[in-house]
Structure 1
Amino acid sequence: MTADATVPGTAVGGLATDVLLPEGGGPFPAVLIRTPYDRTRHRAEARGWARHGFAVVVQDVRGRFASPGEWHPYRDEAVDGAAAVRWLRRQPWSDGRVLAAGASYAAHCALVPALEAHREDRPDAVLAAVPALGAADTAREPSGVERLLARAGWWAAHGDRPDSNDGALDQALTADPGLLTHLPLTRLPERLGRNLPSWAALWRHRDRGLLLARAARADVPLLAVGGHHDPFAEDTHALWRAWGGPSARLLTGPWGHGLVSAPGPGARDAHRVDLGRLYVRWARRALAGDLTPGHGGAVALGGADLWLPAATDGEPRTQRTRPLHGAVFTADPDRPVRSDDLTVPADGPPDRCLLVTAPLPRPLDVAGPVHVTMRASAGTPSADWFARLVALTPAGRAERLAVGTVRRSGPADPTAAFGIGLGRLVRRLPAGTRLRLEIAGHHFPAHARNPHTGQDPMAAERLTASRREVDTDSVTLRLPVLPARPTRTDPAEEILR
């Protein structure tokens, strides 16, 4: 691009801001990106938007990189985002239309002014990719179980500092492989050798769902983009489903947190979407008010070169399982079932209940929420229950499909049935695949170990083992199965409809 212009030395609300203008005299629609990850990393993205006629405003959030102030994750983004929108609309090169865009934490920055600011300070459309909805939403599962590894990694890299060290937790784990086993977990900053006061404060947040509650009152278009293997996959889908604006579109594929740059199991050639081009086309239609009202979009069927309409859900079907071992097992926090290892120990007392299906007689297309129900009891006043579904492929590989958890407290009642949601699965399972269902008391280090004493797992200084008993005859695995010929769609057509 030869005629773009960068507006130097810009400070919006005192925050460091870059402005990139496209060719021509304008005025232009604008894209606002607010990030804690260094605005200079977005230069290529900004040039891409500018090449297609958008002015681009990229800002370091308060207290990060070149922006002054104190960094308090999730606290100031609504007011600072509204100030940026207000300033942007007053610029001579702006035509007044603003798209707020971002991924992960930057998606949070895009969402909150749209949902919390006064109408005149809201963006006109929101593009939220792999959105982090809030502190409590990222820190805990809906049942309250703590997401340890991901939050420790993020806080070690970015918490209470103006810059980032993306490898901070990996470096600390190299020096001390047992870093996350030391108690209490609230004192992790001491072991990292850092002053990190916001770490302990994070675990006091229990107010999940605040943005989702406000999303019902949204009045601007949304494009929500996510990955089936992204830790925020369920939040992305929930945001789309709850959005009350004039148009809501969803695009999800077999990707991780980095989307198309992080393909996961089940990714195929058809899932290599040019997201940049699609974003531009959607933004033009959203800002022009040319999108069909209502909810729509597309989801990729992992394991097949196939896209489905976003609202596609299969019919729940019960998959018959037979127990292998562990109807009685011990959930021992000193020997937890690990989230990063699908190997089942062949010796020693069982650490999980293990069930398996017969080989699938034909390919199975699964799309929608997976659910397990069972009767089981724990011999401790507090117990976490994890259900992990693993595909045992005909080639002999084990692939994780889904994980869910629930926290139960109170007296053990072996007659009480309860359920565990394992999230949404959109995947073609080939003929010959067997499904392994693991029921365990831990999923470490992805999740903190329940001490089984009733204490807060983040503050506990003592752990005890928990005897578990599962009525294997009561275990029901329900998969949402699509018809023999699922409805195909084109993702661009669905997003731009």
Structure 2
Amino acid sequence: MSMAGRLVDRFLGLPGADAAATDVGIARDLRIPMPDGAVLVADLYRPRGAGPLPAVLIRTPYGKRQGLVRLLAGVLARRGFQVVIQNVRGIHGSGGEFHAFHDERGDGLATLKWVRAQPWCDGRIATAGASYLGYTQWAIAPYADPPLEAMGLGITASEFVSSFYPGGALALHNTLVWSSLMGTRDDRKRPLHNRRVRHAMRHLPVGEADMAAIGRAEPFLREVTGNAENEAFWRETDHSAGVAATTSPASMVTGWWDLFLRGQLRDFAALHAAGRQVRITIGPWGHDAKALRAVLADQVSWLNAHLHGDAAELRRAPVRLYLQKADRWLDFQQWPPPETTPTPLYLGHGLTWDEPSAPLDPAAFTYDPYDPTPSAGGPLLSPGRGGQRDNGRIEARGDVAVLTGARLDRDLDLIGPVSAAFHVRTDTGHADLFVRLCDVGPDGTSRNVTDGMLRIDAAPGEVVEAEIEMHPTGYRFRRGHRLRVMLAGGAFPRFARNHGRGEPAGRAVASRRVRIEVLRGAEHPSALHLPVWAP
């Protein structure tokens, strides 16, 4: 093994790297035909002189020579795995046109068939990868016959549509960042997180923000912004219906600040309920390098177990999670933990665990699309901008409502799904409601813990019951801290602004202010539902 390989393995904390040294050969640009005549290219990493072996398939839209993809292939190859890395349709030498998410099922199944027929493959195929590379696994796993030997699923989900439109609102920041990355994949300079892309988030209409960001039309952005109201367009890209029937052993890694957390937990729950062999790790990271380090270690151990017969790592609990602010890793047999109790936290004059017995005035504020309420932190793709942040400047604005609870006399642990059930009225009938739960320290600093968004379309003045799915969490509020809820009409540019007129998200330009009232009190007991863990 090369010195570089040894250093990489040591940095990643991977055991047994020295003993697993293997002489690896690489066959470049294998040509894999698709049924429609397109040819996709792949590289094969293979121990020299070996006979037929199982293969680990990795399908990527970022290019098989990309650093992170090569890192994964190298880590696996140094442990005696045979690895096939394929560029998906339309990417760096693969034929056809890249159509994000839409071609991965057909192309992936055709690739499975081709690999199984090669003399160097013994017929067994596993998959590995993170993010989009995880989605390409879900695009084939429910339909593969015979099934995949194992799946390594990092920071991903069986469907991405819910992450495009959380709560019905367009996830502008993440959509524009990723579409700018894909729209410049052949350029030397990549504007992934540069100032021009950030400024383009203010462009109207948002369906043309690609022109401001990268100077050209980008198909993925046009599709997401143009089909926010068209569920049928995305139906073939959603593989969640086949998750429970998938028999392949699956290992998952996600983070409390990952944008695909909710979807991945749904996938885990479906597999676990169906009695499948599945495990999940939830760490204190987002869609970032910390997560990828955990993904690599997890997938090495999982593939070792299912392709090399090393079952030592299979003895751990199905759920392993990090309890934030407690600095503890916890193991459970299921998600959410059985000791978790959904507990309402009501909106009163502040926040109260007791259901209000008297009427109260609404928590009211006015949202102005021309000066949209900003966002701070959360599950973002941009490094250094997501996660937990100080919310003080936003909470001081006049277009938000802030409610704070009493100081805690003991630690409060939340582990599980979080939701809100509010009674809401708007003067236009068209508005977004953003709700954020924060942790207020003894020094008064307010940091976000979890949040959720819901797009509301109703008659003007109509009271609607707003059910808001928030980000799941594993978090300790320490004794002496306070819980705080912030209510707003937006979180820009994480979500595209709501223009208050009910126009399609991708084309809206004209705007009007919206008065939003969240009703509370005895007649309208609006509340968050928190997963209180008390072992």
TM-score bin (small chain): 0.7 to 0.9
Q: Are 2:210 and 1:189 aligned?
A: yes
Deviations 1:409-462 (A, max 9, x none): 222456544332212111122111111101111111111111111111221121
Q: 1:338 aligns with which of 374, 379, 398?
A: 374
Corresponding letter in the other structure for 1:25? A
The alpha carbon displacement at 1:194 in A equals 0.8
The alpha carbon displacement at 1:159 in A equals 3.4
Q: 2:475 aligns with which of 403, 423, 427?
A: 427
Checking the alignment, whether the CA contact within 8 Å between 2:320 and 2:329 is kept in structure 1 is no
Q: Are 2:301 and 1:281 aligned?
A: yes
Q: 1:316 aligns with which of 322, 342, 356?
A: 342
Compared CA separation, residues 97 and 413, structure 1 to 2 (3 A): same
Aligned pairs (5 A) from 1:286-365: 286-287=306-307, 296-303=318-325, 304-309=327-332, 310-313=334-337, 314-319=340-345, 322-323=348-349, 327-340=363-376, 342-344=391-393, 350-365=398-413
Q: Are 2:85 and 1:58 aligned?
A: yes
CA distance in structure 2 between the aligned counterparts of 1:443 and 1:60, rounded to whole angstroms: 36
Q: 2:258 aligns with which of 230, 252, 261?
A: 230
Corresponding letter in the other structure for 1:125? A
Checking the alignment, whether the CA contact within 8 Å between 1:135 and 1:202 is kept in structure 2 is no
Compared CA separation, residues 149 and 276, structure 1 to 2 (3 A): closer
The alpha carbon displacement at 1:275 in A equals 4.4
Task: State the identity as a percent.
Answer: 30
Q: Which residue of 2 aligns with 1:406?
A: 454
CA distance in structure 2 between the aligned counterparts of 1:240 and 1:306, rounded to whole angstroms: 19
Q: Which residue of 2 aligns with 1:468?
A: 516
Q: Are 2:120 and 1:93 aligned?
A: yes
Question: Unmatched 5+ residue regions in structure 2?
Answer: 2-21, 34-38, 351-360, 377-389
Compared CA separation, residues 393 and 366, structure 1 to 2 (3 A): same
The alpha carbon displacement at 1:80 in A equals 1.7
Deviations 1:250-299 (A, max 9, x none): 1111111126358xxxxxxxxxx854343222223335797989x92322
The alpha carbon displacement at 1:72 in A equals 0.9
CA distance in structure 2 between the aligned counterparts of 1:275 and 1:261, rounded to whole angstroms: 6
Compared CA separation, residues 68 and 454, structure 1 to 2 (3 A): same
Q: 1:25 aligns with which of 50, 53, 78?
A: 50
Corresponding letter in the other structure for 1:476? A
Corresponding letter in the other structure for 1:256? G
Q: Which residue of 1 aligns with 2:107?
A: 80
Compared CA separation, residues 353 and 171, structure 1 to 2 (3 A): closer
CA distance in structure 2 between the aligned counterparts of 1:399 and 1:157, rounded to whole angstroms: 30
Q: Which residue of 1 aligns with 2:532?
A: 481
Checking the alignment, whether the CA contact within 8 Å between 1:114 and 1:218 is kept in structure 2 is yes
CA distance in structure 1 between the aligned counterparts of 2:219 and 2:300, rounded to whole angstroms: 40
The alpha carbon displacement at 1:124 in A equals 2.5
Checking the alignment, whether the CA contact within 8 Å between 1:372 and 1:478 is kept in structure 2 is yes
Of stretches 93-102 and 443-452 in structure 1, the one that deviates more from structure 2 is 93-102
Aligned pairs (5 A) from 1:192-203: 192=213, 193-203=215-225
Q: Are 2:233 and 1:242 aligned?
A: no
CA distance in structure 2 between the aligned counterparts of 1:275 and 1:156, rounded to whole angstroms: 25
Q: Which residue of 1 aligns with 2:503?
A: 455
| TM-score normalised by structure 2 residue count | 0.80
Q: 1:372 aligns with which of 412, 420, 433?
A: 420
Compared CA separation, residues 197 and 37, structure 1 to 2 (3 A): closer
Q: Which residue of 1 aligns with 2:24?
A: 4
Checking the alignment, whether the CA contact within 8 Å between 1:29 and 1:97 is kept in structure 2 is yes
Corresponding letter in the other structure for 2:224? L
Q: Which residue of 1 aligns with 2:180?
A: 156
Compared CA separation, residues 20 and 126, structure 1 to 2 (3 A): same
Corresponding letter in the other structure for 1:366? L
The alpha carbon displacement at 1:374 in A equals 2.5
Q: Which residue of 1 aligns with 2:9?
A: none
The alpha carbon displacement at 1:240 in A equals 1.2
The alpha carbon displacement at 1:211 in A equals 1.3
Checking the alignment, whether the CA contact within 8 Å between 1:375 and 1:414 is kept in structure 2 is no
Q: Which residue of 2 aligns with 1:266?
A: none
SS at match of 2:23: coil
Compared CA separation, residues 467 and 321, structure 1 to 2 (3 A): closer
Checking the alignment, whether the CA contact within 8 Å between 2:392 and 2:445 is kept in structure 1 is no
The alpha carbon displacement at 1:189 in A equals 2.3
Compared CA separation, residues 251 and 164, structure 1 to 2 (3 A): farther
| TM-score normalised by structure 1 residue count | 0.86
Compared CA separation, residues 395 and 98, structure 1 to 2 (3 A): farther
SS at match of 1:236: helix
Checking the alignment, whether the CA contact within 8 Å between 1:28 and 1:53 is kept in structure 2 is no
Question: Unmatched 5+ residue regions in structure 1?
Answer: 263-272, 487-497
Q: 2:168 aligns with which of 120, 140, 144?
A: 144
Q: Which residue of 2 aligns with 1:268?
A: none
